Amino acid sequence: MAKSYKLTASDVPERRTESLYADIVADFIAQGAESMKIEIEGMKPATLRAGLRRALKGKEAEGVRLAQRGEETYLVRKVAD
């Protein structure tokens, strides 16, 4: 009977010390735009939103919020009250 899995010898890649999502938020802040659409090829929108939500909990992300319109995801600067 054929096996339904495959084992391949491989080294474990190094962990990233910075999150991809934190990098996205930092780039958004640095660009100074009021809002920007975020897309990552091959990533489901729900996965992107979950990662961005975690990244937005940091102090360096104050003043930035996440917006969703359909399947599209945006980072938006919060308007001061």
In three-state secondary structure terms, 66 is strand
Question: pLDDT for 12-30, tens place per residue?
Answer: 888 765 688 999 999 999 9
Instruction: Give the pLDDT of residue 2.
Output: 84
Q: Which residue has the tokens 């991809």?
A: 20
- Order of strands across the sheet that contains 35-38: 35-38, 72-77, 64-69
Rounded CA separation 32/65 (Å): 14
Neighbours of 4 (CB within 10 A): 5
Instruction: Give the pLDDT of residue 52.
Output: 93
| Residue at 11: amino acid letter | D
pTM for the full model?
Answer: 0.72
Neighbours of 22 (CB within 10 A): 18
Give the pLDDT band of residue 81 (cuts 50, 70, 90): low
